[in-house]
């Protein structure tokens, strides 16, 4: 059962639906609803970096998250922990690739590695696919959603890019400032 809706959820539901259904022709209310909830979740930066390393520090890098999610060598202590980590990696990859593509590494030498768009896509698709494979018991109902998110990952990124464009401030929308 879902907790109380985020105050921005109706707004994000509308803008995501307008972009996904209206502009892309992606008619999947479960996907658009899920993506809107991801946007709500990540309105707080602490949620973007909610996964913790064994020392309790936030994991800020995709590589670090992927290593932690490894079922053999990673820090995930159970199947539930692995699934939670993979779900977060999918959400993180989708959000960053769609809403902040400039955060993706350009391939130039950087002090701290920023994942490329290709790495984000690969990690997101793979992670959502793995989450979809947790398809028994309490996860049975939502597993097909994650399979569709994996299959449609690039379209979901494109849809978020359209959402981003829709959210950009436009000249002339606000009345001029009165001094």
Q: Where are the domains of the chain?
A: 9-104+113-166
Compute the distance between CA of residue 20 and CA of residue 160 in angstroms, rounded to an integer: 8
Least confident of 33-37, 89-93, 161-165, 169-173: 169-173
Concatenate the DSSP letters of all residues of 3-31 into one string: -SPPTTHHHHHHHHHIIIIIIT----HHH
Over the stretch 134-174, which tens digit does the pLDDT of each residue have? 999 999 999 999 999 999 999 999 999 999 999 988 765 55
Q: Which residues pair with 58 in a beta bridge?
A: 52
Distance, CA of 157 to chain centre: 9
Model pTM? 0.88
Residue 109 pLDDT level (bands cut at 50, 70, 90): very low
Distance, CA of 46 to chain centre: 14
């Amino acid at each position: 059962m879902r907790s109380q809706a985020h105050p921005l959820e109706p707004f994000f539901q509308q803008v995501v639906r307008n972009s996904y259904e209206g502009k892309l022709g992606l008619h999947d209310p479960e996907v658009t609803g899920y993506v809107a909830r991801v946007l709500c979740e990540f309105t707080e930066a602490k949620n973007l970096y909610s996964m913790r390393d064994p020392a309790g520090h936030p994991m800020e890098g995709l590589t670090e998250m992927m290593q932690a999610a490894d079922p053999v060598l990673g820090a995930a202590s159970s199947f539930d922990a692995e699934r939670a980590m993979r779900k977060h990696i999918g959400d993180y990859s989708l959000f960053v690739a769609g809403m902040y593509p400039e955060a993706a590494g350009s391939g130039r030498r950087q002090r701290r590695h920023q994942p490329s768009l290709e790495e984000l896509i690969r990690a997101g698709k793979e992670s959502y696919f793995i989450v979809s494979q947790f398809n028994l018991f309490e996860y049975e109902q939502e597993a097909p959603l994650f399979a569709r998110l994996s299959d449609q990952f690039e379209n979901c990124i494109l849809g978020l890019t359209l959402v981003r464009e829709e959210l950009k401030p436009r000249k002339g929308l606000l009345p001029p400032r009165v001094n």
